[in-house]
Amino acid sequence: MIIQKTTQPRIHNFDPKNFTFGNDFIDHMLICEYENGKWGEPKIMPYGPLGFTPAMMGINYGQACFEGMKAYKDKNGDVFLFRPEKNFKRINKSAKRLAMPEISEEIFMEGLKALVDIDRDWVPYGEGTSLYLRPLIFATEEALKARIATKYMFAIVATPVKNYYSEPISVKIADYYSRSASGGVGSAKAAGNYAAAFYPTKLANEEGYEQIIWTDDNTHEYFEESGTMNVFVRINDTIYTPPVSEKILDGVTRDSFIQLAKHNNIEVKDEPISVKLVLEAHSKGELKEVWGVGTAVVTNVFKALGYKDKKYNLPDLKEEESFSLKLKKQLVGIQTNEAEDPFGWRIKVEKKY
Amino acid sequence: MIIQKTTQPRIHNFDPKNFTFGNDFIDHMLICEYENGKWGEPKIMPYGPLGFTPAMMGINYGQACFEGMKAYKDKNGDVFLFRPEKNFKRINKSAKRLAMPEISEEIFMEGLKALVDIDRDWVPYGEGTSLYLRPLIFATEEALKARIATKYMFAIVATPVKNYYSEPISVKIADYYSRSASGGVGSAKAAGNYAAAFYPTKLANEEGYEQIIWTDDNTHEYFEESGTMNVFVRINDTIYTPPVSEKILDGVTRDSFIQLAKHNNIEVKDEPISVKLVLEAHSKGELKEVWGVGTAVVTNVFKALGYKDKKYNLPDLKEEESFSLKLKKQLVGIQTNEAEDPFGWRIKVEKKY
């Protein structure tokens, strides 16, 4: 690994008490180029622009996938990653579906740890704060032909983030637009999946909903995901979440919630959730909670579901009654080294560089 | 429009008798940036790299769409565009579906004509040659948040192309993978649609098929597109092509083929084509031709269809018996100013710069 440290660090201008989400980048980034059938030597270098023309294939034909993960700082100043091996496996699953070269575990893991180590001062400490890490692979070859590219870049960029307390939101159950096709790329973190969701989400916003619960494109009868998150439903004291599939992302937070729920002796059913089931439970007063989970905000609690011009309000549970908030608290405790980690999820980033 | 001509033209090193498809870029490119809710002044400048970081939103969240179109040179050295207003309208349709800002007709059309005019020496003359033009819009903002970007670039890059005579190909009818969802972005020229098709196409290649005929993701019973082209089927003397929809691209070559067929008094049915209809016609000896149409290669004639482990060979028609080759010849004649243009499709690029 080549390490070229910046001579003009910006860390001193960064105020960890006062910053906005996703716009401040840490001093360094990792890049690694793929050419002639193999990955080259990874390089940590100052964050900044690289030279790409508008003929770059990644931007023309969408061969681009990414991961979202975080590093956390504890009260002693130690820095931790959370289940990074899940992100490593998933970026390669995404890459394969988009006919892109897979990255080696060594480049991904050692690159990730070195970058976080070198820029450890950028990892904020304090409730709801973390360093958001964005590994991505994209086609860099310049050619105007719709075919598999021969040149790629693996990169990791990162930005400090702060999750302000997020108010419960209203979500609309999709009855026309869809985010993924059967036999499509829904389970990949493919760049194109996100852009495809923006316009329907904008329309939902105009109707007063913050997000969409995506349903299957064929019948719109089954829940798939919620916004860019996996979705959970609690009916009485049982939690339901749609099984992962080629259409549904195998979320790290989703899997962690399932394991934590079981650890708490909460029944979890990993099975299709129909709109009908949810609305019937609502009418019987058995629908307790619906929420989304994902790396970026951990949990989005829903206060209302919209479906075909009707709005269904959800109970306003107290924190101690809520499964979503209980599980979120436990998860964040593990991530930030404030609680025991019976699962072995937390990985300390050693000081090396 | 700002025009900054290159001081180091590469045109003298370009051999129009000997080049490969899509890798040589003309001396100039057009760029135009969108910020603070409006498009800036377009600029023609030397083709080359611009500065983008791996946090560029277009590469992370797939807000990127493009057009494919061509400029042709006639024997007098005059240069022509073909139905550019169709590409202008479609790029804005794609942009809208991806929640991107639409480009003005003035920037698109005047920019296109100025670029082709300035680099008119790059338009090759001779059978099957043309200058392939690639207008595209992509998100340039640097931010790690899955939301609609606030900064974009409209660009036009171009490469001389030569269509070598293409042998008839074998295509596989999709029975598992899909390119678009109901309520999805299939009718947009969205970057992500192309990457999603590469892996299934690679699998088809491994089975001995050059391309895929995409079918609906729900039942796989209806034809949608073929590779990156629209698909046509001839049963006896009637031509069928699937109607454009939110899943099927409104192709310029598709529309031109339909109009030309009608002009030739050939019956055209713009209606769903079932796999069953096609295979039944084949068994009765009524399936005469199946072919794809698109800007890049105009026509791909199919010699065999694969469906669920069976291969169905298509008749090897003589050129004078073939509707696809007849219509292709007429279309290319209009495009290259070797034939009358009763439709008003051809637009001459005037010398101005």
Interval A122-144: pLDDT, tens: 999 998 999 999 999 999 999 99
Q: Is B196 in Cβ contact with A62 (below 8 Å)? A: yes
How is residue B244 annotated by DSSP?
P
pLDDT at A165 over 70: no
Q: Report chain A residues whose CB lies below 8 A from the CB of B29.
A: 53-54
Residues in chain B with CB shorter than 8 Å from the CB of A91 are: none
How large is the average pLDDT for residues B174-194?
Answer: 97
Which range (A160-164, B18-22, B212-216) has the least confidence?
Answer: B18-22
What is the C-alpha separation between B146 and A211, in angstroms, rounded? 12
Does the beta-carbon distance from A54 to B138 stay under 8 Å? yes
CB contact under 8 A, A54 and B96: no
Task: Give the Cα separation of B295 and B255 in Å (integer).
Answer: 11
- ipTM, 2 dp: 0.97
| A214-241 core/surface letters (b: 16 or more CB in 10 A; e: else) | bbbbbebebbbbbbbbbbbbbbeeebbb
Are A159 and B144 within 8 A, CB to CB? yes
Query: Distance, in angstroms, between B132 CA and closest chain A CA?
Result: 9
pLDDT recorded at residue B162: 87
As a whole number, mean pLDDT of residues B83-94 equals 98
- Span A169-335 CATH architecture: Alpha-Beta Barrel (3.20)
Would you mind telling me the total number of residues written for chain B in this entry? 353
Residues 90-129 of A with CB under 8 A from B: 96-99
User: Do B186 and B248 form a contact (C-beta atoms < 8 A)?
Assistant: yes
| A-proximal residues of B, 161-190, CB under 8 Å | 174, 176-185, 190
Residue of A nearest to B202 (CA): A99
Predicted local distance difference test score (pLDDT) of residue B203: 98
A61 touches chain B (CB under 8 A): yes
pLDDT of residue B291: 98
Would you state the pLDDT for residue B164?
A: 60
Q: What confidence tens digit (pLDDT) does each residue in B265-286 have?
A: 999 999 999 999 999 999 999 9
Interface of B with A in 229-268 (CB under 8 A): none
pLDDT band at A166 (very low <50, low <70, confident <90, very high): confident
Q: Confidence class of residue B114 from pLDDT cuts 50, 70 and 90?
A: very high
What count of CB pairs under 8 Å joins A to B? 238
Chain A contact present for B343, CB below 8 A: no
Tens of pLDDT, residue by residue over A91-103, are 999 999 999 999 9
Per-residue confidence (pLDDT) for residue A18, from 0 to 100 = 82
Half-sphere exposure of A272 (CA within 13 A, CB side): 10
Class of the CATH domain delimited by A2-162: alpha beta
> Does position B87 have pLDDT exceeding 90, yes or no?
yes
Per-residue pLDDT band at A162 (split at 50, 70, 90)? confident
With a cut of 90, say whether residue B231 has pLDDT above it: yes
Domain(s) of CATH 3.30.470.10: residues in chain B? 2-162
Mean pLDDT to the nearest integer, B59-82: 98
Asked whether residue B163 carries a pLDDT value surpassing 90, the answer given is no
For residue A231, give the amino acid letter.
V
pLDDT at B22 over 80: no
Mark yes or no for CB contact B195/A52 under 8 Å.
no
pLDDT at B17 over 90: no
B33, B35, B58, B55: which is closest to A23 by C-alpha?
B55
**pLDDT at B79 (0 to 100):** 98
**What are the tokens at A231?**
């979705």
pLDDT at B16 over 90: no
Cα A292 to Cα A302: distance, rounded to the nearest angstrom: 8
Q: Which residues of chain B are within 8 Å of residue A160 when distances are taken between CB atoms? A: none
Of A60, A157, A179, the CB nearest to B66: A60
Q: What residues does CATH 3.20.10.10 cover in chain A?
A: 169-335
